[in-house]
Amino acid sequence: MAVVLTTARAFATCDAAKKVLKDAGHEIRIVTPDKPLKSEELIPLVKDIDALIAGLDFITPQVINAAQNLKIIARNGVGYDRVDLMTAKKNNIEVTITPGTNSLSVCELAFSFITGLARKIHVMDTSVCSGSWKRENGVELNGKTIAIFGTGSIGKNLAIRCVAFGMKVIAYDLYPNVELQEKYGVTYYDSMAPLFELADFISLHLPATEQTREMINKESINKMKKGVYIINTARGDLINNDDLYEALVSGYVGGVGLDTFTEEPFTDSRFFNHKNVILTPHTGAFTQDAIVKTLVMAAEDVVRVLDGNKPLHSVSQ
Ligand SMILES: NC(=O)c1ccc[n+]([C@@H]2O[C@H](COP(=O)([O-])OP(=O)(O)OC[C@H]3O[C@@H](n4cnc5c(N)ncnc54)[C@H](O)[C@@H]3O)[C@@H](O)[C@H]2O)c1
């Protein structure tokens, strides 16, 4: 029997994922932190574990080196920028992700931000609840241009939905998707600049890397159309918050929808209760449907590795 620790919050109520581990005869230890665990919080928990199903915790070299029996870190999601891949490799620990399982949920949240900002739903909700009957002027999506940065699992599905709403979709990705181009009329550009210039809406679906970090900054905002809406359900590090805030206050940026932040929970109160801002607590993947698909996939790779087999969704190679 191996010991599997899970810090993924939803695990506690996911019977399907528990069944995968129990049927394989493993002991499950469930921790349900209300925010991602820091290195010093994780270290005492990992000393004797064989596998970790991880939320958005900070899995530093110190954490990995403290886990002498660890064989697999299964990220409950697709982002693995908080896992120190180098140290995991050095210690022969597999790192896996759960591709595709929450893409539709994140895509639908991004789409909710688009429609929510366009019609100022959050503003009118507050208004009606406070006894007022003030109508806000919105904009139609039909005929507007959306720039989608990153057309992987999430961005691709968003593009298809935006096309269905009559939007013109332009995109940037290292690997343009032929189906999006040929079947849905999506136009790719080989640099970011034209997207900044042409877009009425911008939606970010890239990982945070050296090339993409703070891609939304003073310089890129200056290239954008006045009144542009910016949606980020990818990673907080893609945006320079000071530059974004300045552009919001000046009215140059018309609205923002943010689900992901550099520091979580997000405490930058300048953005709170701002009329043109919608904030959610990194909740893109939080639908009942996605939670089950994701945890089951992570648990299945854990069982594979503990059985001595290769995982199906490794990022360690
Ligand atoms: N809000 C949430 O809860 C939530 C949930 C899941 C994923 N995410 C985040 O959403 C983002 C997208 O996830 P996904 O599942 O679509 O990932 P994906 O890997 O399927 O797609 C990412 C795309 O970005 C492209 N890309 C990577 N680096 C690039 C670069 N420098 N320039 C141009 N293109 C580049 C890749 O070619 C790929 O097509 C990630 O940042 C992920 O961490 C957020």
pLDDT band of residue 138 (cuts 50, 70, 90) is very high
CA 205 from chain center: how many Å? Answer: 8
pLDDT at 163: 98
Residues within 6 Å of ligand 1 by CB: 77-79, 102-103, 106, 150-155, 172-175, 205-207, 209, 211-212, 233-235, 259-260, 282, 284-285
Is 82 assigned a catalytic role? Answer: no
Best mutation site among 206, 259, 266 for ligand 1 pocket (most ligand atoms within 8 Å of CB)? 206
Q: Which of 235, 300, 304, 313 is catalytic?
A: 235
Per-residue confidence (pLDDT) for residue 134, from 0 to 100: 96
Instruction: List, in order of start, the domains of the chain with CATH numbers.
Output: 3-101+287-306 (3.40.50.720), 103-279 (3.40.50.720)
Based on the residue annotation, tell me whether 282 is a catalytic residue of this protein.
yes
Question: Which amino acid does the sequence have at 155?
Answer: G
Q: What is the mean pLDDT of residues 102-108?
A: 96
Nearest CA to ligand 1 atom 20: 152
Which pLDDT score is estimated for 78? 86
Q: What is the reported pLDDT for 133?
A: 97
**pLDDT-based confidence at residue 254 (cuts at 50, 70, 90):** very high
- Position 91: which residue type? N
Q: Could you tell me if 231 and 114 are in contact, meaning their C-beta atoms sit under 8 angstroms apart?
A: yes
Residue nearest to atom 3 of ligand 1 (CA): 284
How distant, in Å, are the alpha carbons of 42, 122, 127, 138, 277 from that of 131?
47, 15, 7, 21, 21
Alpha helices in 54-145 (DSSP H): 61-66, 85-90, 103-119, 121-129
Q: Specify the amino acid at residue 51.
A: A
Q: Cα–Cα distance between 61 and 185 in angstroms, integer?
A: 45
Which segments of the chain does DSSP mark as H helices, in order?
A: 15-23, 39-46, 61-66, 85-90, 103-119, 121-129, 153-164, 178-184, 193-198, 218-223, 241-249, 288-306
Distance 261 CA to ligand 1 centre (A): 15
235 counts as catalytic: yes
Distance, CA of 260 to CA of 78 (rounded, Å): 14
Bridge partners of 279, per DSSP, are: 258
The mean pLDDT value for 169-193 works out to: 98
Please report the pLDDT score of residue 234 as a whole number: 97
Q: Which two tokens stand for residue 291?
A: 């939670």
pLDDT band of residue 139 (cuts 50, 70, 90) is very high
- Residue ID of nearest Cα to ligand 1 atom 18: 152
User: Which among 40, 87, 42, 85 is positioned nearest to 61, based on CA atoms?
Assistant: 87
As a dihedral over the C-alpha atoms of residue 158, residue 160, residue 165, residue 170, rounded to 10 degrees, the angle is: 80
Q: What is the mean pLDDT of residues 266-292?
A: 95
Q: Is 174 exposed, middle or buried (0-12, 13-18, 19+ CB in 10 A)?
A: exposed
Q: Indicate if the pLDDT at residue 132 is higher than 80.
A: yes
Compute the distance between CA of residue 162 and CA of residue 74 in angstroms, rounded to an integer.
Answer: 32
Mean pLDDT of 242-271: 97
Beta strand 228-232 with 168-172 is unpaired
The pLDDT value recorded for residue 317 is: 73
Q: Which amino acid is at 279?
A: L
Q: What is the mean pLDDT of the chain?
A: 97
Query: pLDDT, tens digit, for every residue of 148-164?
Result: 999 999 999 999 999 99
The best mutation among 101, 106, 239 to test binding of ligand 1, ranked by most ligand atoms within 8 Å of the C-beta, falls on 106
Output the pLDDT for position 204.
Answer: 99
- The tens digit of pLDDT for each residue in 62-96 reads 999 999 999 999 999 888 999 999 999 999 999 99
Among 78, 179, 220, the mutation site with the greatest number of ligand 1 atoms within 8 A of its Cβ is 78
The strand pairing partners of 49, in sequence order, are none
Per-residue model confidence (pLDDT) at position 238: 98
3-state secondary structure of 237: helix
Query: Residue 130: which residues within 8 A CB-CB, separation 6 or more?
Result: none
- From the CA of 243, how far away is ligand 1's center (Å)? 23
Is the omega angle on the peptide bond into residue 194 within 30 degrees of 0, that is, cis?
A: no
